[in-house]
Structure 1
Amino acid sequence: MPVYLHATATAVPPHTLEQKEVARNAQRLLSPRFQQFDRVAGAFETSGIERRHSVVPMSWFDSPHGWAERNACYMAGATELFVDAAQKALAGAGWLAAEVDCVVTVSSTGVATPTLEAQALGRVGFRDDVLRVPLFGLGCAGGVSGAIVARRLALSQPGAKVLVVVVEACTLSFKTENLRKADIVATVLFGDGAAALCLSTETPAGPAITLGTPHQHTWPDTLPIMGWEVEDHGLGVVFDRSIPAFVRSEFAQVAEVAQDRAGLARDGVDRFVCHPGGTRVVEALEQVLHLEQGSLDAERAVLRDHGNMSAPTVIFVLDQVLRNGQSGQMMACALGPGFSAAFLPLNVPAAAQVAA
């Protein structure tokens, strides 16, 4: 029984952070506190990022903030993003919120209890018996992994309408104390955003995007590569410098396994839809997947305009690929904490009637 993608949607918060302004403020705030700042400051220009969006204004970063204040900003900003992305996706699919049977919420940048879909339940209009499935800790792989979970839920209850909402407020992790190189990298890369998907086994009226057999892989003994460290002030980012090299040495073999699981030949993917963690990671993916340099154009465009938003970023890429009218056999893929990879095949016929 196939599962269909009925709609995609994206949302960003109201505050735009231009990269040049971020670089100036980082120089002012961080260089007195981090002796090696000038050695890594060039990354602001070479990151491929021109702007990102944030749940808080630029002035918020001038002052220190503790856990409670950061999480309060997360709760407020992430709830607004959830509502925006969910409503856009439902409108695109032609669904009423009261028709949704299951909501999968993916987020790893704050703590929400009750969870975000409960915070937004009345505003969006979900039923009081909607199945709530919150997922935490998936990081950058969360967009693909959340869609994989949603696909399985749709298969378990044929005809059910499943909404996936992926929300991250990465910018709230910015700090000025106990700095490490990873904190500077996060300041260069991170943005906030949300994305949503509508999935069901119900056949759309026209040509339909179908989701194939997914694959997830976790490499053993790789926990320190990526994640969060819980610190007194909030969440501290973990980015190991080995990530691009790790992608070059390990990713291709796992991608081949994912294609095998999906019943695809080695040359059976017309378009890889990748999470653009950074320019070096995008270049490494093009290399190991034997793609023409520069072919991951939508990935670079999303990185340029939104930065690395963690989990929703890959759905931003998918949304843009669909809006560009591309079709064929695709494979969404992302890397995240664990260290792990997630793959989800999508077959996109020409003129597929998905609302993107």
Structure 2
Amino acid sequence: SCTGIMIPSIDAYLINDLQMRQDVIRLPVTEMGCAAGVSGIIYAKNFLKAHPGKRAAVIALESPTATFQLNDYSMANIVSAAIFGDGAASVLLSSHEDDKGPTILDEGMYHFYDATQLMGFKWVTSGLQMILDKEVPEKIASHFNDIIEPFLKENQKTIEDIDHLIFHPGGKKIVQTVEQLFGELGKNIDDTKEVLKLYGNMSSATVLYVLERFMDRQPKKGELGLMLSFGPGFSAQRLLLEF
């Protein structure tokens, strides 16, 4: 979660409410913004790689409406109020050999230099104030090939090998930019657009809603998915999945 701070964090309450094991390992993560849906999976995957025979739950819980600034008439605040919505999602990961589900073939992060000003929050007397630069879509477009091609090449793949695009929508302009870039490669992000239309941008939870739509359709065995999200920093998070 990035849309508020609470101590103890939500996982402490879940341990009590669900009567989970008393030796469960907690790792609250904040300040990753919209990228955290994928980065959380990356952290969990690496934990499970180091601890065979374990399971992990990645939980994304966001309340962007709690950050709304009533007396802020800036375009950034107006746009964020229009596109962001509250949401929560969870994805379960396992390193048990008998458990079923998509396999994470690879993961990676890509960091943009000198772009910390593009997106985020700043503390003001009335709470968290949104920072949302209009240059974000252009910045993504200018780095797009560097984000996608080397990552796939490391896995002996190209975009033509990818069957499913599981993409965090951001907002309308970002969707339009990425749709054009993927469209030139013969791919579509229809599920991403539908999630944005139905629920808005729910920050870290959004890409997990998109993932759920693919999981519900039960992709064919062996099909590949590219999971992608962007967030403050500025950074891109990537996962290569095999269904």
TM-score relative to the length of structure 2: 0.94
Match of 1:156 in 2: 50
From 104, 113, 119, the counterpart of 1:220: 113
Radius of gyration: which is bigger?
Answer: 1
Partner SS, residue 113 of structure 1: coil
Match of 2:85 in 1: 191
Structure 2 runs not aligned, ≥5 long: none
Indicate yes or no: 2:215 matched with 1:346: no
Superposition RMSD in Å: 1.5
Q: Deviations over 1:302-349 (max 9, x none)?
A: 11111000001001001012212334100100000000000011101x
Match of 2:65 in 1: 171
Match of 2:190 in 1: 297
Q: Deviations over 1:207-243 (max 9, x none)?
A: x410111010111110000111111111111110011
Q: Is the 8 A contact 1:215 1:258 kept in 2?
A: yes
| Structure 2 CA distance for aligned equivalents of residues 347 and 325 of structure 1 | 12
1:98-113 equivalence runs, <5 A: 107-113=1-7
| Structure 2 CA distance for aligned equivalents of residues 148 and 193 of structure 1 | 21
Q: CA deviation at 1:288?
A: 2.1
From 277, 287, 301, the counterpart of 2:180: 287
The residue type equivalent to 2:155 in the other structure is A
| Structure 2 CA distance for aligned equivalents of residues 204 and 321 of structure 1 | 22
Q: Is the 8 A contact 1:214 1:262 kept in 2?
A: no
Percentage of matched positions with identical amino acids:
31
Partner SS, residue 137 of structure 1: coil
* Mean Cα deviation higher: 148-157 or 250-259: 250-259
Match of 2:23 in 1: 129
Indicate yes or no: 2:213 matched with 1:320: yes
* Distance change in 2, residues 1:165/1:203 (3 Å): same
Indicate yes or no: 2:160 matched with 1:258: no
Match of 1:141 in 2: 35
TM-score relative to the length of structure 1: 0.65
Which of structures 1 and 2 has the larger relative contact order (alpha carbons within 8 angstroms, sep 6+)? 2
Partner SS, residue 147 of structure 2: helix
| Structure 2 CA distance for aligned equivalents of residues 205 and 165 of structure 1 | 19
From 222, 232, 241, the counterpart of 1:337: 232
Match of 1:12 in 2: none
| Structure 2 CA distance for aligned equivalents of residues 185 and 321 of structure 1 | 29
Q: CA deviation at 1:291?
A: 4.4
